[in-house]
Amino acid sequence: MNSADDFLETLEQSGLPPLRGGRPPGEGFQATVVSRDLGSLRLAELVTPQGECFRDARSARATDSELWQIEVVTRGRVRAEQGGSTAVLGPTDLVLIDPVRPVRFASSESTHVTMLVPRHLLRLGADDAARLAGVRIRGDRGPGALVSSLARDMARSLDGFRPHEADRSAAAVIELIAVMLSARLGDARPVADEILRTRIIGFIEARLSDRDLTPAKVAAAHHVSVRRLHKLFQDQPLTVAALIRRRRLERCRADLARTDATVAAVAAGWGFADPAHFSRLFKATYGHRPGARVSNDCARMVNEPAVRPGEDGG
C-alpha cells in the first residue's frame, strides 16, 4: 500500500491494536501488512518506512484489554516508549506492549512481527506487566532468542496445521513467551525505588475517584516525605500530580465516550470537584471540549498541561 492512511486502516482491519498519525502520507510511501493465525495466536508481519506512529487513550478498543502485544524486530531499528520505559530495538530484539495504554513507536525502514497473545493464557500479573512493558528483551540469547526465531519463521508460513495441531502449537509458543518474560524479570533485579514506585502507581490507580488524592496523601500512605515522593518520580515522564491528573482525564474520556452521563457527573466521579477546571484541563490535553464529538479520523497529539508548583492531581 502506498498511503499512510491505508496502512493504519489495514492494521486495524487485521485485528491489530489501532495506531494514529505520525507517518504522514507522501510520495514513495510503501508498507505491507500480512497477518496469520495459529490457534489463539495472531501474528502479523509489517514492512514499514521510516517514521513515527502512536496510540493514545482514545484509540484503545474494549477487545484490546484482552490481549498482550509482543513486537519482534527482524530488520532495521525501532524505538518503543510506554509506561515511562523506552526500548531501542535492533534485529531479533523484542518488547512487550500493553495495547490499552498509550505507546509511541519511531523506526527506520523496518520489518517486524507483531504477536497478539490472549491475556488469560499468558498469566502475567499486573506488577510484572508494569515492569516489563516498554523494556527491551534481547533476541540473541536465552529464551528471547528462541521466541524471536519462532516468531520470524511463523510470520512467513503457518500452512499445514490441523485445528488441534494449531491449538497445541500456540499453547507451546505461549509457554515459551512466558518463560522469556520470566527470565527478563529475573534480569531486571528491581531496586527498592522501582518496587516502591510500582506500589505507588497501583495505589494511585485504585484511588483516582478520591477527590482528596494528592501527592501529600500518597506520600503519607507510603510513609515517605513529599520530597522523597517527588524524587522517586523525578526521572519519570510525569510527576505524581501530573500522573494523577492524566489518569483521571483518561478515565473521564473513556466514560464520556460510552455513557450518557453529564460532563459534570463524570468529572465528579473521577475526583474533579470543579467542572470548569475539568473542562479547561480536558481541552488543554485533548484539544477539544469534553462534550464535543471527535472524528475517528482526526488524530491529535496529547499535550500535558502546565502545572503550577504545588497544584494537586485534580
Q: Could you tell me the residue range of the domain that residue 53 belongs to?
A: 4-188
Number of domain units in the chain: 2
Q: Which residues on adjacent β-strands are paired with residue 87?
A: 80
153 and 201 in a common domain: no
Is the distance from CB of 51 to CB of 62 less than 8 angstroms?
no
- Is 214 among the domain residues? yes
Residue 116 to residue 264: CA distance in whole angstroms: 37
CATH number of the domain to which 79 belongs: 2.60.120.10
Quote the cell numbers at residue 142.
536465552
Q: What percentage of the chain has pLDDT greater than the value 90?
A: 51
Q: What is the pLDDT of residues 20-45, one digit of tens each?
A: 875 454 556 788 999 999 999 999 99
200 and 184 in a common domain: no
Contacts of 206 (CB under 8 A, 6+ apart): none
Q: Which residues on adjacent β-strands are paired with residue 187?
A: none
Q: What are the start-end ranges of the H helices in the chain?
A: 4-13, 119-122, 126-132, 142-156, 163-188, 192-206, 215-221, 226-232, 240-258, 263-269, 275-286
- Is 210 among the domain residues? yes
State pTM to two decimals.
0.59
Please provide the DSSP assignment of 8-52 as one string. Answer: HHHHHHTTPPP-BS-S---TT---EEEEEEETTEEEEEEEE-SEE
When pLDDT is cut at 50, 70 and 90, the band that residue 261 belongs to is confident
